[in-house]
Amino acid sequence: MLAGLAGLLLLAFAALDPPDALTVTQERAFDALLPATMPDGTAPALPAGLPRATPLEVHVVEIARTGIDGGPWGRRDLAALIDKLTLARPVAIGLDILIAGNCDAPPGSATAALYQSMQHAIDLGSTIIPGFLLADEPLATNLPGFDTPRLAVMADAPAWTAAGADLPCPAILDMTNGQMGLIAIAGDLAGRVSSLPAAVFVAGRPLPSLSIEMVRTALGISASVLGRTTDGRGWLRLGTRTLDLTPAGDFRFAATPPASRAHRTHSASDILSGAVTLPQGAIVLIGSALPESGGLRASRIGPLHPTVHFQADAVEQILAETLPTRLQNGPEVEAVVALVAGMALMALCLQVSPVVGFATALAAASGWLAVCAYAAQENGLLLDPVVPIAAMVLASASAILSAAVKSRIAARRLGARMRKHLPAAVVSRLAGGEDIPRVAGEMREVTALFTDIAGFSTMTRRVEPEALVALLDQYMTHVTELVERHGGMVDKIVGDAVHALFNAPETLAGHVDHALACAVDIQTATEALRASDIFRAAEFGHTRIGIETGMAILGDVGHGTRFDYTAHGDAVNMAARLQEANKELGSRILIGPRATELAKTPTLPGPEIDLRSFGRLTVSFLPGYGPPAP
């Protein structure tokens, strides 16, 4: 009993000041409580009991892989897109991309065309808000527009901090009088995005995020105000709207699934061709949904989604005043609920049978979960179900079992609950009381392997969801086991695709040979699967694989306690493009020039792999994401 009471007190204190592990668990619970879609499956995922009409329409334009002339998308294409958008006189055009480097604009150049289009849009009354990122180099002291008070800051206001920033071209900042928005986004410890920064202090200067600046501009507010209450809660005021901020300066939003955002999403090619015309006076965000752009993040709706849609979600929900919010004294209320409910269950379980006592505890936990779900879905109010329910379970167990048994059961339940939301390795380190160090960036040679299933999109329309998930489970089990067996690391699973790295994070001798052997084994194993009755009935497609070797930057990317281990480099992008090139060439496995060179002199014993040249293949990248390579 004493151990049970001690456990209740600890949970109550944890509710008041959650550690990192509990915070991540609470965030996952909040994600589960918020509605995924409205009953019709199409409306934005906003709380049901709050107004849905926004004062202004929000639209997202996803830039294409190829431009007007069939080459890689570039600045001349962006200029043409802005010209088309300007016809609808948008109140604001936000760029969830960084336009930097090669800023000189000789007459007739693509950069000059982009500057001209942006200036034309501004002259016609639209506001252009370019994006910027964070960096270590300090900002220049003579930036234009810094004397314009777009963000007022109260004392001790919460916000991100950075030494410097990667800024748009100076000519763009001259056009916008220094107006810009932060487009950096960070995930939590599990790598999922559920909040956005409100502002950032760059070398002591306050700068707003893109979504905040879009709303401020659209509503004609002269300046947003950032501050903190006496009890430590942060806030940001946009006219009559007030956003609750975390101690780190973030605000929570509800990421909407693709089906719910289809009404606002348009491709750049449709805009350029005139197939889609935006309504007059809308808010427009331009960004990329391409994997090679590096602008994809995990959230409650799936593993990888374009960050431009997170910005659009935030803008819509701020305008409609439907951002999910925490109860002002929520931690205190949750701590009281945990203590009172736990002690009441302890007293009850001492008087009744174990079955009745435990059933009562389950009923109490279910009741609190129903309250949390109703508050989230009807009012956008986030109440923590984790700590009170954990308190109820602990209290009932402590009254029914002996002190030694109840302690072990409580720890087991907490561990099992955490493993539903965190990777097993992270949970083990947290359980051991270890700090989770951030992996610093490093440059090393890696071999990237990308897989994809031919005809998967068509198969999703043909096969029942339950059957498709079962097939994918078997397929992914084979592929991931083969990657690990050959010494590789599964970096990401994106839909039907597997992204794997060899020689990272641990050194792997002969990593090219390992990757090629792995690719051959994947082909053999997946073809055997396709030959089985259930896969053949589903017309399961063959596996396409792209492989390339090269230098890449690896490390944890993010902010504060929210980061994700990832790789950046031309070899990674090339492997993805080679996998796609299999479609045109009719091949199953394509490897790049560097991997081919190393494969010709294998360093590991084993059967020789027959390589056949396809000649020279030109692949294209988005500007800023790698040069064309043969």
Q: What is the pLDDT of residues 431-489, one digit of tens each?
A: 554 444 445 578 999 999 999 999 998 898 888 989 999 999 999 999 999 999 999 98
Domain with 492 in it: what CATH number?
3.30.70.1230
Does residue 170 sit in the same domain as residue 66? yes
Does residue 376 sit in the same domain as residue 304? no
Does residue 546 sit in the same domain as residue 580? yes
Does residue 64 sit in the same domain as residue 207? yes
Do β-strands 497-502 and 442-453 pair in parallel, antiparallel, or remain unpaired?
antiparallel
Q: Is pLDDT above 70 for 628?
A: no
Does residue 368 sit in the same domain as residue 501? no
Q: Residue 237 has what pLDDT?
A: 92
Strands (DSSP E) found in 351-453: 381-382, 442-453
Q: Residue 521 has what pLDDT?
A: 95
Q: Could you tell me if 365 and 373 are in contact, meaning their C-beta atoms sit under 8 angstroms apart?
A: no
Q: Residue 150 has what pLDDT?
A: 86
Q: Decide if 378 is inside a domain.
A: yes
Q: State both tokens at 52.
A: 């849905």
Which one of 319, 343, 372 terminates a domain? 319
- Residue 327 Ramachandran class (φ > 0 left, ψ -120 to 50 alpha, else beta): beta
Does residue 478 sit in the same domain as residue 593? yes
Q: Decide if 616 is inside a domain.
A: no
Q: Decide if 491 is inside a domain.
A: yes
Q: Decide if 624 is inside a domain.
A: no
Q: Collapsing DSSP states into helix, strand and coil, what is residue 450?
A: strand
Whether residue 505 is preceded by a cis peptide bond, meaning omega within 30 degrees of 0, is yes
Q: Residue 33 has what pLDDT?
A: 83
- Strands of the sheet containing 131-138, edge to edge, are 164-166, 131-138, 181-182
Q: What is the pLDDT of residues 120-158, one digit of tens each?
A: 999 999 999 999 999 887 766 566 666 667 888 887 888
Q: Could you tell me if 399 and 4 are in contact, meaning their C-beta atoms sit under 8 angstroms apart?
A: yes
Does residue 233 sit in the same domain as residue 214? yes
Does residue 488 sit in the same domain as residue 346? no
| Cα–Cα distance, 559 to 357 (Å, whole number) | 45
Q: Residue 55 has what pLDDT?
A: 56
Q: State both tokens at 89.
A: 């006189």
Q: Collapsing DSSP states into helix, strand and coil, what is residue 30?
A: helix
Which one of 319, 349, 374 terminates a domain? 319
Q: What is the pLDDT of residues 375-402, one digit of tens each?
A: 888 878 888 888 888 888 887 777 766 4
Q: Decide if 613 is inside a domain.
A: no
Q: State both tokens at 189.
A: 């410890």
Residue 334: is it exposed, middle or buried by C-beta count within 10 angstroms (0-12/13-18/19+)?
A: buried
Number of domains making up the chain: 3
The candidate with the shortest Cα–Cα distance to 6, out of 407, 430, 431, is 407
Please name the residue ranges forming H helices in 109-220.
Answer: 110-123, 170-176, 210-218
| Cα–Cα distance, 265 to 287 (Å, whole number) | 11
Range of the domain at 307: 48-319
Which one of 301, 319, 337 terminates a domain? 319
Does residue 61 sit in the same domain as residue 17? no
Q: What is the pLDDT of residues 257-309, one digit of tens each?
A: 888 888 899 999 999 999 999 999 999 999 998 877 777 888 888 888 889 99
Q: Which residues of 507-542 are buried (b: 16+ CB within 10 A; e: fewer)?
A: ebebbbbbbbbbbbbbbebbeebbeeeebeebebbe
Strands (DSSP E) found in 36-144: 58-63, 92-95, 127-129, 131-138
Long-range contacts of 225-233 (CB under 8 A, 24+ apart): 225/151, 225/152, 225/153, 225/154, 226/151, 226/152, 226/153, 226/154, 226/157, 226/158, 226/159, 226/198, 226/199, 227/153, 227/154, 227/155, 227/157, 228/154, 228/155, 228/156, 228/157, 228/158, 233/328
Does residue 523 sit in the same domain as residue 567? yes
Q: Decide if 339 is inside a domain.
A: yes
Q: What is the DSSP string of 406-432?
A: HHHHHHHHHHHHHHTTS-HHHHHHHHT
- Tell me the whole-structure pTM to 2 decimals: 0.57
> What value does the mean pLDDT take over residues 348-352?
75
Q: Decide if 621 is inside a domain.
A: no
| Cα–Cα distance, 144 to 138 (Å, whole number) | 15
Does residue 454 sit in the same domain as residue 532? yes
The candidate with the shortest Cα–Cα distance to 553, out of 570, 536, 541, 575, is 570
Pick the more confident residue, 2 or 84. Answer: 84
| Non-local CB neighbours of 285 within 8 Å, separated by 6+ positions | 58, 59, 60, 61, 93, 94, 95, 96, 210, 214, 308, 311, 312, 315
Q: What does the angle CA 172 – CA 176 – CA 179 come to, to the nearest 5 degrees?
A: 110
Q: Residue 92 has what pLDDT?
A: 95
> What secondary structure letter does DSSP report for 513?
H
| Cα–Cα distance, 205 to 165 (Å, whole number) | 11
Q: Decide if 73 is inside a domain.
A: yes
Does residue 96 sit in the same domain as residue 245? yes
Q: Specify the range with the lowest mean pLDDT, choosing from 230-234, 409-413, 531-535.
A: 409-413
Residue 251 has phi, psi (to 5 degrees) of: -125, 140
| Cα–Cα distance, 23 to 309 (Å, whole number) | 24
